[in-house]
Amino acid sequence: MAMKRVVAFLTAVAAAAAIPVVSGVAGTSAVANADPCPSLYVVAIPGTWETSTKDNVRPTPGLLSAVTNGLPSSIRTDYVTYAATAFPWESEVYGRSKAQAVSNAKGMLSSMSQQCPDTKLSIIGYSQGADAAGDLAAEIGTGLGVVPADKIAAVGLVSDPRRSPTDALVGPAVAGSGAGGPRIGGFGWVSQNTRTFCAYGDLYCSTPKEDFVTRLAGFLAQTSDPTPTLFGRYQQEALAIWNDILAVGGVPALMAQLDEQSNEKRIDELEQFYKSQAHQDYTSYAVDGSGTPATTWLRNWLRDIA
């Protein structure tokens, strides 16, 4: 029974681990803007369960509304609609849901770039949306994206399940990396314009390096809808986890994290994590000496860039 409980919790951790011509995309302007070519165009990707493609579910901006509400009229914001699901019994598994978000966001950026070549572009995301936004930014930054890297003026990732310790973190230092593992190769040419936010105690973006069970669960979520062209990257990510396991004793060290006592401890820790609301606390989580919340800092940054 304990094993079933811990598997359920780990799956949830890993799950965070949310313009026309693109099906399944709803453009929702955060501010009224009569100018068809804004100075800055923001593509915002909500987190898990914050949006949907189902007819009976009304998509909402979710936590990112605290970022986009109140931006000046020179900035246009459109929200990506995607499945935003995490589990096999929902409409899509996590990997397929995230891929849908990436694909839809690509279409929005491409369309705006073609219509308004002088408009600067930005991508922001929260939770699963940050996972998708970060993957898209990494594609563009390494020369594989739908727009040139120099078009991306800002990337804001709130609770990114693929946060790397080397990413530009705004706020106090946190342990480890995202539950899904860091992106191989990072953000390339958009690194200097990328900022990440991770609250202390948020396991989605701050999984301890030695927590191999959660890291493996995150890896399985990331590869739940594998893309054949990415198999090389999957191998690199799996090897990184395996090398870390070997460094502390190999399989026996991993099995020690799966015994009854460890499972019970993990269940208690995860229960405390969900009760803490650390993953939802970014509208009040201070990231500088003035006490500015993460969402406010990101809104001010986008405003200044525009």
DSSP-based three-state secondary structure for 295? helix
Among 30-34, 62-66, 243-247, the least confident range = 30-34
Q: Looking at residue 2, what is its pLDDT?
A: 43
Q: Looking at residue 31, what is its pLDDT?
A: 41
Mean residue pLDDT across the chain: 85
Check if the beta carbon of residue 112 is closer than 8 Å to that of residue 75: no
- What is the C-alpha to C-alpha distance for residues 133 and 46, in angstroms, rounded to an integer? 10
For 201, phi then psi, to 5°, come to 90, 0
User: What is the DSSP annotation of 147-200?
Assistant: S-GGGEEEEEEES-TT--TTS-B-SS--SSB-TT-PPTTTTGGGGGGEEEE--T
What predicted TM-score, i.e. pTM, was given to this entire model? 0.83
- What is the C-alpha to C-alpha distance for residues 141 and 157, in angstroms, rounded to an integer? 15
- What is the C-alpha to C-alpha distance for residues 107 and 251, in angstroms, rounded to an integer? 44
pLDDT > 60? residue 3: no
pLDDT-based confidence at 16, cuts 50/70/90?
A: very low
pLDDT > 50? residue 154: yes
Count the Cβ atoms, other than its own, within 10 Å of residue 18: 32
pLDDT tens by residue, 41-67: 999 999 988 888 876 666 678 999 999
Domain ranges of the chain: 16-206+277-305
- What is the C-alpha to C-alpha distance for residues 248 and 243, in angstroms, rounded to an integer? 9
| Architecture of the structural domain at 16-206+277-305 | 3-Layer(aba) Sandwich (3.40)
For the residues 179-203, what does the mean pLDDT come to? Answer: 95
pLDDT > 90? residue 220: no
Q: Looking at residue 8, what is its pLDDT?
A: 47
- For residue 60 the two structure tokens come to 């909402």
pLDDT tens by residue, 78-100: 999 998 887 766 667 889 999 99
Q: Which amino acid is at 193?
A: N
* Residue 225 neighbours by CB under 8 Å, 6+ apart: 92, 93, 94, 95, 96, 99
